[in-house]
Structure 1
Amino acid sequence: MTGAKHPFHAVAALAAKRDMDLEIKVENDGDYVRLYQDAPPLFFKYRPDPSDSFDRNYFQQSKRILLSEEDCAHGPDVTLALIEQLLEKFADYTPRRT
C-alpha cells in the first residue's frame, strides 16, 4: 500500500468517532496495517496486503479475519458496518492456542 492511503485508516477514524473499541496497528512506515480489538480477540487484515510476521508477534491469540477489496470498496461506513457484524458474530470467540 506504499504511496496510497490504506482503507483501514478511514475505518479506524470513523470507529474512534463512534467510541468503538477498535484500534489500528501501523508498522513499517505504513506497509503493515491491521485493525484489531482485544475483546473478543480479533484482528482484520486487508486481503491485498502481504502476510507479515507481525501478525504472529502481535496477534498470536487473536482470530484473523480477511477483508477483501470489495469489502472495503464502498467507503468506511460500509466497511465498519461489516466489521461490526463480524464482531457480533465472533463475540464469544476464545483463542484455542495457549
Structure 2
Amino acid sequence: QGVRIAIICAAVAGIYILDFAINTVQAAIRAFIVDCAPPHQQEAANAMASRIVGFGNIIGYCAGYVNLPPRLWFLGDSQFKILCAIASIALAATVALST
C-alpha cells in the first residue's frame, strides 16, 4: 500500500513539473515574439502562436484517445507513461531547436 501511494505521489509531482516546464517555455516564447516581431506584426505573431498551441492540444487529446502501448511499447508500458514520454520528448526537442 505504501509503495502505491509513493508511486501516485511521484506521478502527480511529475505531471506538475512537466506542466510548469511547458508553461515556462510558453512564457519565454511570448517574450520572444514581442522581442523579435515588429510592433505592427505582433498581433499576427501572437495569433499564430495561439493557433500552434491549439493544434498541439488537439494532437494531445487525440493521442490520449488512441491505444498507444501496442504501438509505442518502447516508451512505456501504460498510456500515461507513453503520453508523458511524448510530452517530454516534444518539449526537449522544441527547446533544443529554438536555442
Provide the TM-score with structure 1 as the length reference: 0.29
Q: Which one has the bigger helix percentage? A: 2
Q: Which one has the bigger strand percentage? A: 1
- Tell which has more relative contact order, 1 or 2 (C-alpha 8 A, sep 6+): 1
